[in-house]
Amino acid sequence: MQWFEFDTPADAAAALAEAVSGALATAIRERGEAVLAVSGGRSPVAFLQRLAESGLDWAHVTVTLVDERLVPEHHPDSNAALVREHLLTGAAAAARFLPLALHPDDAAASLAAARAAWRQPDVAVLGMGDDGHTASLFPAAPELAAGLALPSAERLLTVTPPAASHTRLSMTLAALLACGRLFLAIQGPAKRRVFEQARQAVDDALPISHVLHHTEVPLDVYWAS
């Protein structure tokens, strides 16, 4: 794991965009295409905007989501809307986009459609909640054990978070660990404390700890104070 520290969220976003762009360009050189999975929430906006301006060969990039809330795209909590607004603009509009909540009123139909369209990402950019969740692998969710199971052929599952809004679709830990590169972007002292606690030991109460303790996939952590 590599740790990168920045004075401002803007500096972290710029550096993360450069690193992710480089990883995707490598995949395009090696395989002719690249698949990127990004997180939602409020933190990734500046990163997505900087990545959109990165000069990548977007026609050879597929963008998907690490997780999604089962809401229509006009809902303010839609991660797909966030990606469309802040990443798939200008030259980056040439990327192919695979949203996850294709049937927002029907979790099973959304999961089936997302599984059918599934592409294994080369690169995933994770966030982390104050409760230690990553993707939508929430502590105490009834589906958490299935989401953390290894080995597992499941790449996506539905999650009903006990203490957060909306049923979700989420990549599983097995899917995250099948990525060629992982990035984790976190901001502020509170999230740093959660991160440091999760580094101590694997603990289902902090699902991010499972990612931090599987060292076979290169993980770069971008933290802004």
Ligand X SMILES: O=C1O[C@H](COP(=O)(O)O)[C@@H](O)[C@H](O)[C@H]1O
Please give the residue ranges that form the binding site for ligand X (CB under 6 A): 39-43, 66-67, 79, 127, 129, 136
Alpha-helix residue ranges (DSSP H) falling in 87-177? 107-116, 144-148, 173-177
Pick between residue 57 and residue 204 the one whose CB is nearest to ligand X: 204
Pick between residue 30 and residue 98 the one whose CB is nearest to ligand X: 98
Residues 100 and 64: beta-carbon distance below 8 Å: yes
CB 128 → ligand X: shortest distance, Å?
6
Beta pairing, strands 67-69 & 168-171: antiparallel
Classify 217 as helix, strand or coil.
coil
Pick between residue 35 and residue 133 the one whose CB is nearest to ligand X: 133
Pick between residue 43 and residue 172 the one whose CB is nearest to ligand X: 43
CB 124 → ligand X: shortest distance, Å?
11
CB 41 → ligand X: shortest distance, Å?
2
Cα separations (Å) of 164 from 25, 60, 115? Answer: 35, 35, 24
Positive/negative CA dihedral, 74, 187, 155, 157: negative
Residue 156: enclosing H or E segment and its boundaries? Answer: strand 156-159
CB 164 → ligand X: shortest distance, Å?
6
Positive/negative CA dihedral, 11, 65, 20, 200: positive
CA 94 to chain CA mean position, Å = 20
The tokens of 166 are what?
């909306």
CB 202 → ligand X: shortest distance, Å?
19
Pick between residue 21 and residue 43 the one whose CB is nearest to ligand X: 43
CB 52 → ligand X: shortest distance, Å?
18
Pick between residue 53 and residue 77 the one whose CB is nearest to ligand X: 77
Residues 203 and 25: beta-carbon distance below 8 Å: no
CA 41 to chain CA mean position, Å = 10
CB 191 → ligand X: shortest distance, Å?
8
Pick between residue 41 and residue 118 the one whose CB is nearest to ligand X: 41
Residues 6 and 187: beta-carbon distance below 8 Å: no
